[in-house]
Structures are given as structure tokens and as C-alpha cells.
Amino acid sequence: MNVSPDGIDFTQSFEGCSLTPYQDEAGVWTQGYGETGDDIGPDSPPWTQEEATEYFMQRAKAYEDAVNADVTVPLEQYQFDALFDFAYNLGNSALAHSTLIQHINSGGDLTGLFELWDKVRENGELVVSAGLLRRRKAEDALFTSGDYGITAP
């Protein structure tokens, strides 16, 4: 499967788009729709909207591939899109090793599993991030009921 246009809108609404670099909640230099890496820092040149979209679409394939590889049961499009967003935000390794994937593949109860990934590290401690909690709840609603309407403010 591939992420749908609605899934792309869903993910982009949570990522937001900054054409100039900024530090995210964890202090990681970020640009575009959540792009990170050694080539992004405080002195990185601004991007155009087209460049930000191009980087997003280039990365999308890796997250689509991860969801397709990790999930062993049939999915509805909206479920795929929810897992794509989860992987895009947290990374393919987090998806692959998550209890969420284990429960999806085994048909287990998913109640509250998305919300296990709602924390950031502040001063050496894990604390709940309101933004991540909102995103996890939106992914849960999308996965369980197909509700694309819960997006970032």
C-alpha cells in the first residue's frame, strides 16, 4: 500500500512546515516537514515550499515500505495512513519494535497503545508532550475509526 493524499495531509498537518531551520522539542535541528540530519543546522539556507514537499515525498517511500514490511495483516487505507504517520514521526525502528505492531499483527487490544509514545526528554526525564499526546490520539482515532478530521491546531 501507499499513503493516501488524505494521509499525506494528516502527517503534514502535524509536522507543519518550516522553510527555515529550527530546534524541535527535543532540541534537534529540523526543517521542512520534520526533516532532520547532519546537513540541517542553524546555518542551513532556507528552502522553498517545493523543496520541502520534495524532501517529504522522497522520505515517504521509506515509511510506506516499513509499514508494508512490519504489518502482516490486511489494513484499511486509513489504518495504513495512521501507521505511516506514526513511523514518519517516530522512525521505522520504533514502528518495527513497537507493542503496537505486535498487537495489530496478533489482533490484540490496541487501547492506549498509540499513547505510549507521547513523551519527550526534558532535563534527563521523560515528560508527556501535549503535542505528541494530541498526535497519538489523532493516530488512534484514525486507525480505529478512519477519522482524518483530528489534525494539529
- How far apart CA 145 and CA 127 sit, in angstroms, is 28
Cα-based torsion angle of the residue sequence 83, 84, 87, 89 in order, rounded to the nearest 10 degrees: -110
By DSSP bridging, strand 18-23 and strand 29-32 are antiparallel
- How far apart CA 148 and CA 151 sit, in angstroms, is 7
The catalytic position among 15, 35, 64, 139 is 15
Q: Are 136 and 119 in contact (CB under 8 A)?
A: no
Q: Are 17 and 37 in contact (CB under 8 A)?
A: no
To the query of whether residue 15 is one of the catalytic residues in this protein, the response is yes
- Residues labelled catalytic: 15
